[in-house]
Structure 1
Amino acid sequence: MYDVSEIRRDFPILSREVNGKPLVYLDNGASAQKPQVVIDAVTRGYAEEYANVHRGLHFLSNLATEKYEAVRGTVARFLGARDEEEVVFTSGTTEGINLVAYSWAMPRLEPGDEIILSVMEHHANVVPWHFLRERQGVVIKWVDVDATGALDPQQVIDAIGPKTKLIAITHLSNVLGTVVDVKTICAAARQRGVAVLIDGSQSAVHMPVNVEEIGCDFYAITGHKLYGPSGSGAIWIRKERMDEMRPFMGGGDMIREVHKDSVTYADPPMKFEAGTPGIVQQIGLGVALDYLMDLGMENIAAHEASVAAYAKARMEGLNWLQVQGHAPGKAAIFSFTLEGAAHAHDISTILDKKGVAVRAGHHCAGPLMDHLGVSATCRASFGLYNTEQEVDALIDALELAHELFA
């Protein structure tokens, strides 16, 4: 049984008040709160078990290394990957995408080669490709969403041409909540010899993910959205792509031997993990993923779908609320504005006075804001611990904002 009241007790911060009101935390799309088991793991990691990993021969180093490396297998299980050696630890999705841009794309793409993006992409999946556009003459091809915010996979497939080398696409929009049919896109891309990178920052939090079934080449996740520590994350890289990649950063841990006139690199994944890593952060990520898998991603998805349906019904009763994105099967993410001149920042400030935490701004999605014709929106993004009562609190706060700005 999925007992949300019991689950909420796992998250200490949810019992606090903000501005004299019970905290209603609806900013999960930016960063999720942490369960006590993750907090305990991080505290224990620093207070009782800390040492640098790899190469150390003493007890604490061996313990830290064992716990740190065990997370690689945890990530592989979470993503449905067959081989944990295809998991590279990163500080988050941003580093993972930049790793692919510098290690795989930069040495392979020539002027005129194309990268396909959707208009929904987060800046982390836009700016690295602009680097290649500026520095190497790579062409970025954009695919739009329809009026509901849905992305037709056939449009992405139709955009593939003889010069297309990579499709870099989100699995779930952080603004619209749109779920993308990445499996269909990957199947067509593979037939044409085109690599596919998937930004899984949002999707991996809300639904089961199996990279083998999806058929992608790269799949990036970020720990702080997965109820784990900030500064943690990973990217799954298909082995044949990994073999095509040069090192991203140089330093300790990613080498086998260094001499005055030569260097030999370690085998992947260590080849891509230079320097002292986020040891405790990654251990905390492993605990967070175990927590999610114990709850069951199918159960989490079902709970969030129920809350999303309730939120959608409540919002549809507010004719002065403009919600962006109505794609079928969208996740529990709602971006909205109020009629009139109220700015998203002003709206979020009023909501905060009622203890309701939402995000306001462009959500690191400038191309999508341009496409929608808005400069900013408020965003309520729900997680595994949110409830229908919190939806009601959001609606009450929105009604207050409407009264003040009408």
Structure 2
Amino acid sequence: MRMIRRKILGALAALPMLGLLPHGVQAQDKIVLGEINSYTRLPAFTEPYKKGWTLAVEEINAAGGINGAMLEVISRDDTGDPATAIRIAEELTTKEGAVMLFGTFLSNIGLAVADFAKQKEVLFLASEPLSDAIVWSKGNKYTYRLRPSTHMQAAMLAEQAAKLGKKRWATVAPNYAYGKDAVAAFKAELTKLQPDVEWVEEQWPPVFKIDAGSTVRALEAAKPDAIYNVTFGGDLAKFVREGSLRFLFEDRAVVSLLTGEPEYLDPLGGEAPEGWIVTGYPAVQIETEEHMAFMEAYEARWGEVPKTGSIVGYNSVLAIKAALEKAGSTDTEALLAAMEGLEVPTSPTGPFMFRAADHQSTMGAYVGLTAREDGRGHMVDWSYADGADYLPSEEDAAKMRPAE
């Protein structure tokens, strides 16, 4: 009886040690990932994004998971509110057992979750937010970013804008982190390429609340040779409609961030502008083997052509898979070590990696012109711009980050 009693007491004494296992170590046969995004606030982009990451998870699990462990994504809607996003992040990491977080769209929410990741020491892959601050001025050890940044895409567009030889430029952008970064980056890059450029007008409408009439009137009054536009979603539609009615774009060059993305171009229908220089995603025209395989699988699963969000969601999970396999563990420190210089050798957009110096991926973007055919807009004369070609050196980027 004494022997039995000692064994029982020994087993009971060991139970509390289960709570002392390193954060993220899984006793079960699954790996839980926490995902956060503005699904009800921005469904045009986030729903294709969700379909993209769902497809990737299904493919990985069908192939045996990560060393036999199945991926499980617990997804939550932040409703476009940073405070809600922080509450959800807390629940996912403390109650649901998520070993890392990924997602977010709006830059203010991405920055909020990045700060949470720093405070709670959990890995966060910012899939979609574009603000440069996420990897530079407010970058931290625990946050990496997948999508080509504001700076990267602005630099791609500035390269094309410089070829126009236009001197007087006006800008219009939403008045929050993303819009401010987008204008600052474009101005800096175009000025480098064309030192005599003049900036004659800036318009800063509140995001999703543009007064298109007053914005267009102010831009036209400045009589610019060209316009740099950063509006998107419903604001873009209003701006295009009002600008067309008032002939703002007549004989005037327009360079427009994100406008070539199907999420924003398709809703314009017959009002889609023609000849704008844009970043975007010409899905049905891309004929690389990797992209065609992805598109075939995506169409078979969802019955529709992928959008930009689809690619971002899919590549997010491919990056997470690569990190988990390289780390050989779900421990946060092991994952952080794996993320430094992590290479994702195969994706629909080609290989990319995460820079150790600033945690930015080198995933690129497509740059081309808008055109209209059969009552809808699409991209023409496009090419893929490798993100690595539009980033500052790792040495310079590291200087822009806070000391840790």
TM-score, normalization by structure 2: 0.34
Q: Scaled by the length of structure 1, what TM-score is found?
A: 0.33
Larger Rg: 2
* Higher RCO (CA-CA < 8 Å; seq separation 6+): 1
